[in-house]
Amino acid sequence: LGESLAIGGALQARGLTPGNRVALVVPGVADFIRAFFGVTAAGLVPVPLFPPAQAGDLPTFTRQSRHILDASHAVAVITSADVAPLLDVSAIGSSPVVLTVEELRDGPALASAVPVSIDQPALLQFTSGSTAAPKGVVLTHANIDANCLAIAHGLDLRPDDVGVSWLPLYHDMGLIGMLIAGIHGRVDLVMMSPVQFLKRPT
C-alpha cells in the first residue's frame, strides 16, 4: 500500500489529475501491481498493455501499443527502465510522457487514496488485437464491484481461501478475475509471472 501511495503521489506531483488515463507496460508482476494501484490511488484511470516479451515480436508490440495509447488518450505511460527505450510515443496525438516505476517509487506519497465516485471509470480494458485492432471498454468502479461480487458468489469465496495465478495482468482474467477479485474478497493470493511459469522445467 505504501509503495502504491508513493507512485500515486509522484504522478500527482507531475501534474496528472483525476480522470487522466495512464497506460501500464510493466513486465514484472510486483511492479505492475504497485503501479496499477498507484494509478488508481491517485484517481487516475489505468490502461494495461501487454509488454514486449508477451507480444510475440517487437513490430507487433510497437503497432499495438501505439494504437492503444492513441485510442485511450493516455497522458502518461508507466513502464520499466528496460522497456522504456522500446516505446516510441512521438507520433501519438496525446503525447504521453514515459515514466518508469523506478523513478516514481520515491513519491512524494499520497496521505490517502483520492476519493472517486463509484460510477467513474476505473479501468480501460482493451481486447488482445489477435483478430483486429484492439478495442477498448470503459469499466466503472461499479462494473468491477459487480463483477467481483459475482465471482465471489460463483466460487463460494471464503476468507481462508488462497488464489494462485500465472495469468497475465494485462488480461481481464488475470487482472479482474484473480488480482482485483482476490483483493475484493480479502483472500491471500500467489501471483506468478506467465513468462517465468512457462520457462519452468516440466
DSSP labels, 29-51:
HHHHHHHHHHHHHTT-EEEE---
Q: Render pLDDT for 3-19 as a digit per residue (tens, 0 to 9).
A: 999 999 999 999 999 99
Strand, coil or helix: what is 201? coil
* 114-126 mean pLDDT: 96
Q: At what angle do helices 29-41 and 2-13 cross, to 10 degrees?
A: 60
Separation of alpha carbons 188 and 182, rounded Å:
7
Separation of alpha carbons 147 and 153, rounded Å:
10
- Pairing type for strands 162-165 and 188-191 reads parallel
Q: Render pLDDT for 22-77 as a digit per residue (tens, 0 to 9).
A: 999 999 999 999 999 999 999 999 999 988 876 667 888 888 899 999 999 999 99
Query: In the structure, what pLDDT confidence band is assigned to residue 196 with cuts at 50, 70 and 90?
Result: low
Separation of alpha carbons 137 and 60, rounded Å:
21
Answer yes or no: is pLDDT of 119 > 60: yes
Give the rounded percent of residues in the chain with a pLDDT score beyond 70.
93
Please list, in sequence order, all residues whose beta carbon lies within 8 angstroms of the beta carbon of residue 183, skipping any fewer than 6 positions away. 189
- Residue 86 CA: distances (Å) to CA of 20, 62, 122, 189: 23, 8, 27, 31
Answer yes or no: is pLDDT of 115 > 80: yes
Question: Nearest 5°: CA angle at 117, between 190 and 72?
Answer: 70
Amino acid of residue 84: A
22 burial level (CB within 10 Å; 0-12, 13-18, 19+) = buried
Q: Render pLDDT for 127-164 as a digit per residue (tens, 0 to 9).
A: 876 667 788 999 999 999 999 999 999 999 998 999 99
Rounded to two decimals, what is the model's pTM?
A: 0.91
Strand, coil or helix: what is 23? strand
